[in-house]
Amino acid sequence: MAICAAFAEAGAKLAIHYNKSGEEAAKLLKELGGEKSGHKTVQCELSDLDAVENLIPSLGKIDILINNASIYFPCPLAKENIAGAKRQLDINFRAPLILMKKFHGQKITEGCIINLLDRRIAKSFPDDGSYALSKKALAEATLTAALEWAPRIRVNGVAPGAVLPPSFMKDSKMKKQIAMTPMKKAPTPGDVAKACIFLVGTDSITGQVIFVDGGQHL
């Protein structure tokens, strides 16, 4: 929501993606001025890779792509089942990669892609399983695409730390993690949005990953 609000305020016309949160997406659309402001919502199940293939063509030409959607189910590799691993890899890596390639295939003179990563790309953790692998793969795809597609398409990443606790995590656990970071405070959704705005607005930057995590990756 914060990213959408920041880009709407900056003058962008948004296609707000959702899967099952149709009511929330409609509410956000209304808050941002509705369709009369040039915004719209679009539904897609990102684990359905055939549907993902058709998502960008259905929108018409776009010049900014932000891959923000992901799922997080931590589990050690040895205990993770194939179905769970495949779902995380499909939604967190394969779907964004397809969207990146479809974006690149448009006949546009310049464009910008931002992939939302995770501070875990800087370090391995024993319980993150395929989630960490999916984000590390997306980070590598970010750098590879930045090199391949320049100067027409810029590709960058934003790697947040502990912004909001997952539904299954107690807020107290997140507070303990934040207390051990160099800055000792959690980044806000607004901080992540500002990083995205900065990357889109600075046309000399590509292949960069900004950690918005209070130094947690260190």
pLDDT score at 142: 98
pLDDT score at 126: 82
Cα separation of 147 and 141, whole Å? Answer: 10
Q: Write out the chain's pLDDT in tens, 218 residues.
A: 899 999 999 999 999 999 999 999 999 999 999 999 999 999 999 999 999 999 999 999 999 999 999 999 888 999 999 999 999 999 999 999 999 999 999 999 999 999 999 999 998 888 899 999 999 999 999 999 999 999 999 999 999 988 876 666 666 677 888 888 888 888 999 999 999 999 999 999 999 999 999 988 98
State the pTM of this model: 0.93
pLDDT score at 171: 63
**CATH hierarchy code of domain 44-212:** 3.40.50.720
Q: 3: phi > 0 → left, psi -120 to 50 → alpha, else beta; which? A: alpha
Extents of the domains making up the chain: 44-212
Return the ∠ at Cα 5 (arms to 217 and 118), rounded to 5°: 15
C-alpha pair distances (Å), 8 with each of 12, 33, 34, 92, 106 = 5, 9, 11, 25, 23
pLDDT score at 127: 87
Please report where in the chains the tokens 């990756």 appear, as a residue. 217
pLDDT score at 141: 98
Cα separation of 98 and 104, whole Å? Answer: 10
Cα separation of 137 and 117, whole Å? Answer: 10
Q: Crossing angle for the helix pair 95-104 and 129-149, nearest 10 degrees?
A: 10
